[in-house]
């Protein structure tokens, strides 16, 4: 019995975040399942009403039982856009044509080995250890975790620094009773060049402008951003109360044209807690907080030198399948950001309220609304308007059909 409980707990952390799946094949050694969902919504925000794709996806999972209690497994997941994304393009030869977006994009792809006692190790594109700390608030369908440090580089998937769906990641997990943990390394080699006389150089690495002291447009600083590292710990205090904590860090290493080496550390650390079960009836509440440096970018894709973030959510699910919830998120840049960008203020802040009708466990109708309280004050009003355009009030209605 104890071994069964450990195996169940290990399976839960290996595949966080979980989603329902259909087993399409199983024999004494192999199993294959298919999962994912299609989410269609009508949304009104930023002055327009559109039908949009709600991060629809499809995935395949394969498991093989090996000797001595080991199993091998792999998961492949793609984002899909089943509703079309065709734009009108005006070409240089004064002709019009339609241009369609991609139907598929890569979300996850990893392979691993797992044992009830020795834990699991996985290699590939997978959810980072940091997500264990903050997933507890990421349940809104339309407006979710953009303050937790997960979806970095202006709401991308967190692949660059491994906090979201990290690229090229090696991860180890294990469970000991009510305690579980994860450690990871992201093994990659990235580099880019910045002009030493450009604003981007002096704000990403404030000392580069002083070191260079040149006006030659060909003088560049080469920046390397290679391996990252992270870890998380989860403790089930009671059946309802779960606490989490973790960190993630990497390092920018810059070499100027004068040969001087400079470094800045991309770091984030924080904790979270949740009460109840989002999928169950009754009360669910959760929050997480984080402190970060050189970890994310603002709405103009400029580096945020320092910031803190908070996400929170509270919901109640009735026995008739109706779930109501409210959430509040804030990501606020600090003094170093203001000093780097001539006093600009970056405060992403909004609240969301929603009603979900869980018709059954795999079919949800929903209505969600967002009220924005952000502050992007800047002396440059054109720049301020550009910062504000992606943050707005909104309302959306949709349906999520899960396989």
Q: Give how many domains the chain has, as a whole number.
A: 1
For the chain, the average pLDDT equals 89
Range of the domain at 133: 2-402
| Distance between first and last Cα of the chain | 30
Q: In this predicted model, what pLDDT tens digit does every residue of 186-196 receive, in sequence order?
A: 999 988 888 77
**DSSP E strands, 177-240:** 179-186, 190-195, 220-236
Q: What is the pLDDT of residue 97?
A: 62
What is the model's pLDDT at position 166? 96
pLDDT at 15 over 50: no
The model's pLDDT over 338-362, given as tens digits with 9 standing for 90+, comes to 999 999 999 999 999 999 999 998 9
The CATH number that applies at residue 127 is 2.40.160.10
Note the pLDDT tens digit of each residue in 204-253.
666 555 444 445 556 778 889 999 999 999 999 999 999 999 999 999 99
**Peptide bond preceding 31: is omega within 30 degrees of 0, i.e. cis?**
no
Q: Which of helix, strand or coil describes residue 119?
A: strand
Q: What SS3 class is residue 338?
A: helix
Running DSSP on this structure, what letter comes out for residue 375?
Answer: B
Residue 9: band (very low, low, confident or very high) from pLDDT cuts 50, 70, 90? very low
Looking at residue 2, its pLDDT comes to 41
Predicted local distance difference test score (pLDDT) of residue 176 = 96
Average pLDDT score over residue span 320-325: 97
209: helix, strand or coil: helix
pLDDT of residue 125: 97
Residue 306 C-alpha from the chain's centroid: 19
Of 50, 47, 61, the closest CA to residue 19 belongs to 61
pLDDT above 90 (res 293): yes
């Amino acid at each position: 019995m104890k071994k069964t409980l450990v195996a169940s707990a290990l399976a839960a952390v290996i595949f966080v975040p979980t989603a329902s799946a259909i087993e399409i094949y199983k024999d004494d050694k192999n199993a294959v399942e298919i999962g994912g969902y299609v989410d269609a919504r009508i949304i009104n925000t930023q002055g327009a009403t559109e039908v949009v794709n709600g991060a629809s996806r499809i995935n395949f999972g394969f498991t093989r039982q090996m000797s001595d209690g080991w199993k091998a497994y792999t998961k492949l997941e793609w984002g899909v856009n089943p509703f079309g994304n065709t734009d009108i393009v005006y070409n240089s030869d004064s002709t019009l044509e339609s241009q369609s977006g991609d139907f598929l994009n890569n979300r996850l792809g990893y392979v691993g080995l797992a044992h009830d006692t020795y834990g699991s190790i996985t290699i590939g594109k997978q959810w980072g250890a940091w997500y264990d700390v903050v997933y507890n608030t990421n349940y809104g369908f339309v407006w979710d975790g953009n303050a937790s440090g997960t979806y970095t580089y202006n709401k991308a998937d967190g692949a660059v620094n491994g906090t979201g769906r990290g690229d090229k990641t090696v991860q180890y997990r294990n469970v000991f009773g009510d305690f579980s943990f994860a450690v990871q390394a992201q093994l990659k080699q990235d580099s880019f060049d910045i002009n030493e006389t450009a604003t981007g150089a002096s704000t990403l690495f404030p000392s580069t402008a002083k070191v260079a002291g040149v006006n030659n447009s060909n003088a560049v600083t080469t920046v390397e951003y290679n391996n990252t590292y992270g870890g998380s710990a989860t403790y089930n205090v009671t059946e309802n109360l779960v606490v989490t904590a973790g960190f993630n860090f990497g390092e920018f290493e810059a070499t100027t044209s004068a040969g001087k080496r400079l470094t800045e550390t991309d770091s984030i650390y924080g904790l979270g807690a949740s009460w109840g079960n989002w999928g169950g009836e009754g009360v669910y509440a959760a929050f997480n907080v984080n402190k970060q440096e050189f970890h994310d970018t603002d709405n103009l894709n400029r580096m945020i030198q320092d910031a803190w973030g908070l996400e929170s959510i509270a919901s109640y699910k009735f026995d008739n399948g109706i779930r109501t919830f409210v959430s509040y998120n804030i990501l606020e840049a600090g003094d170093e950001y203001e000093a780097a960008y001539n006093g600009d203020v970056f405060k992403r802040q909004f609240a969301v309220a929603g009603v979900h009708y869980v018709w059954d466990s795999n079919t949800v109708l929903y209505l969600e609304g967002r009220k924005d309280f952000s502050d992007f004050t800047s002396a440059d009003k054109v720049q301020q308007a550009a910062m504000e355009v992606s943050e707005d009030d909104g309302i959306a209605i949709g349906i999520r059909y899960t396989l």
